[in-house]
Chain A
Amino acid sequence: GAVVSQHPSRVICKSGTSVKIECRSLDFQATTMFWYRQFPKQSLMLMATSNEGSKATYEQGVEKDKFLINHASLTLSTLTVTSAHPEDSSFYICSARDEGGNNEQFFGPGTRLTVL
């Protein structure tokens, strides 16, 4: 299947700092990418849908000013957690839709964020 990468895989930061997470589709182009958050022993929760060249669509309850999404190219979407706090510590996973294939969503390996 198609490959989606995320960078970094793990990040530890101090409270109040901002953290940027990258999501790349390595062998296909993706107009649409998705950002999820997964707390321990809980479901993947969709945070936002990232659209290349336009504004992201955020799910109810997700602060768009805190979780900044930029989808500047067909292979890269970034999620920036601004002024991170300990309650933002979670596993962040992106997925990308392979529109050139059968529209399957391929998931990245996730980024573990720990805010001290």
Chain B
Amino acid sequence: QKEVEQDPGPLSVPEGAIVSLNCTYSNSAFQYFMWYRQYSRKGPELLMYTYSSGNKEDGRFTAQVDKSSKYISLFIRDSQPSDSATYLCAMSHLPYSSASKIIFGSGTRLSIRP
């Protein structure tokens, strides 16, 4: 079993729709949870970073962590064509600010149709 599972998609939705991206994980020691966006032929860029359970909102993006279910989500409201990219969930045992090992999901390819 992989430590982090993520549906690779592709996921295609119309512009303006709410997008829900999800990951499950098996290691209960993970404390820090991240979402990255990766455009084609580019490196990943950090979108959001959360600690433990709960919600965090940043503009059109909301990250949700449910540690009891070992399940994390990223919601995108009012989706735009420019949101089309691959979204990777990631997690670690130690704070993001340390030289800790980050475990990535395989990424979900998202396409927003104009």
Contacts and interface: CB of A to CB of B under 8 A. Distances in A.
Interface of A: 1, 4, 6, 9, 32, 41-46, 49, 59, 93, 95, 97, 102-110
Contacts, number: 50
Contacts of B97: 102-104
A9 B43 CA distance: 11
A103 B46 CA distance: 12
Interface string B94-106: 0011110111111
Interface residues of B, number: 21
A44 B44 CA distance: 10
A103 B4 contact: no
A93 B38 CA distance: 12
Nearest to B9: A41
Given A41-B8, A43-B105, A109 B99 contact: no
Chain B interface helix/strand/loop/mixed: loop
Given A32-B99, A102-B97, A103-B97, A43 B43 contact: no
B6 to A, nearest CB: 8
Nearest to B38: A107
B102 A107 contact: no
A97 B46 CA distance: 13
Given A97-B99, A102-B97, A103-B96, A44 B46 contact: no
B42 interface: yes
B23 to A, nearest CB: 11
B66 interface: no
B65 interface: no
Given A95-B43, A110-B42, A105 B104 contact: no
B98 A107 contact: no
Contact of B102 (A41, A42, A105): A105
B46 A104 contact: yes
Contacts of B41: 9, 109-110
